[in-house]
Amino acid sequence: MSSDTPDSSITASFDDLGLIPPLLARLAELEYQQPTAIQAQGIPSILAGRDLIAGANTGSGKTATFALPLLQQLSQQQAARSTSNEGTKGNYVSGLVLVPTRELAKQVADSIRSYAVHFNGAIKTVAVFGGVSTNKQMLALRGGCDILVATPGRLLDLISSNAIKLDRVKTLVLDEADRMLSLGFVDELTELLALMPAGESKQTLLFSATFPEQVKSLTQNLLNDPVEIQVQSADASTLVQRVFTVNKGEKTAVLAQLIKQHQWRQVLVFVNAKNSCEHLAYKLSKHEISAEVFHGNKGQGARSRVLEGFKAGEIEVLIATDIAARGLDIEKLPVVFNFDLPRSPADYMHRIGRSGRAGEVGLALSLIDHEDYHHFKIIEKKNKFQLEREQVDGFNVDESAAAALAADFLAHDKPMAAPAGTGKKKAKKRAQEKAEQEGKNKAPVNTDIWSGY
């Protein structure tokens, strides 16, 4: 991976980034005052044709970072084809943006279309995703498109129906790349990569808020001498994080108390399971708080209606699984709750990033009972922060229960001492056997899956 690191200072103006007049005019209309750090560093590198791996806080402007240069490159390519009278017919795509969720696909496509207003329809952008009929999407792809925003599964379905081909892809973008490179998408992504031009024939751009080390290792054969950018935006300081300790079984009452006390009118609450959404909504109704749910079992039409209602302020409390944790841009969302702690420390950052976006003040609250203590410490350690434990008035925590749980945890978490007379060798052997057994229970990770692409 290239050691190139662009200047981390924020460029004073979009005029300095090499963008063409139609894009600059649109940015002025949208009242974009100056580039964010990720935009200032990423846009010139993309325009120069470099591969890119870019990490930045949620809400820092990653979509514009790849959308603006992609539109500019396509506009210039169209002008070159027009001059050379090169034909453009066929079900091709030039720019492909892969995303993990339906909602993010729609959101990214809408943003690209907005930035492209002054190209007067010359750049065709289509979004395809599951949960809806393929017929309309196949019609939209007739004659190909310039930019395709897609979820991997639906894209493979459309390819199998000969609705689109990837052999002319010039730019590939993986948005929320850490999720796209995870085991859940490996097989689909490998299939798609095999259908695209290989190596230096295309530009590859990876964007995400987090890039765990195991994901970085998978990018080595996917990217060609990439520029690596890691930006911790100053905007992140506008998000306040707090954690409240509660007794087991009192999370719902504490959540209801805080919502009523502060009279919040737009609250996003994260839980870990689909049935937990419905269960929590029911329990909140007992506290005279109306809530809607958002999870994978809801049809796409219902998901879209709920999300639009929440964005518009018509729904005050939205209870969601982690499908709402990535990429969703909810303007000026005041508060996010972790009712259940996320299983992954990286997902914690994605969840809280729904608030405090683009410099707006936001609040991220986590409710932890005794059984959550250890896991929250892991989240703090992995994400390099530490928060003061607070309590909500009227909900005093039973410290004796906390102490008993901590003692029980320590008793079971300590390495077992070798029985008298067995010696260190046998104790070491038992530890090795335990590690080997645990290894058998884990899914193997193939770090060479991108070789050849």
Q: What is the 3-state secondary structure (H, E, C) of 33-76?
A: CCCCHHHHHHHHHHHCCCCEEEEECCCCCHHHHHHHHHHHHHHH
Looking at domain 235-396, does it have CATH number 3.40.50.1820? no
Query: Residue 206: its pLDDT value, please?
Result: 93
Whether 235-396 and 14-230 are alike in CATH topology: the answer is yes
Q: Which helix (H) or strand (E) holds 399?
A: helix 399-413
pLDDT digits (tens, 9 = 90+) for 47-84: 999 999 998 776 678 999 999 999 999 999 888 776 54
Who's near 296: CB < 8 A, 6+ residues apart?
274, 321, 323
Six-digit token pair at 443? 């899914």
103 DSSP β-pair partners: none
pTM for the whole thing?
Answer: 0.66
Cα–Cα dist 359/357, whole Å: 6
Question: Any idea where the domains of the chain sit in the sequence?
Answer: 14-230, 235-396
Query: Residue 434: its pLDDT value, please?
Result: 46
Q: Where are the alpha helices (DSSP H) in 127-205?
A: 134-140, 152-160, 177-180, 186-194
Walk along the chain (453 residues) in steps of 10 and give the mean pLDDT of each run.
Answer: 47 87 96 90 96 81 94 90 57 94 90 96 94 91 95 95 94 88 80 89 88 68 87 62 94 96 93 94 95 88 88 91 78 90 89 77 92 94 90 85 55 42 46 46 36 34
- Contact criterion met (CB below 8 Å) for 355 and 336: yes
| Among candidate residues 314, 357, 327, the one with its CA nearest the CA of residue 106 | 327
Query: Residue 14: its pLDDT value, please?
Result: 93
Query: Residue 440: its pLDDT value, please?
Result: 39
Query: Residue 185: its pLDDT value, please?
Result: 80
| Superfamily the domain 14-230 falls into | P-loop containing nucleotide triphosphate hydrolases (3.40.50.300)
Residue 147, CA distances (Å) to 169, 172, 228, 354 in order: 9, 10, 24, 26
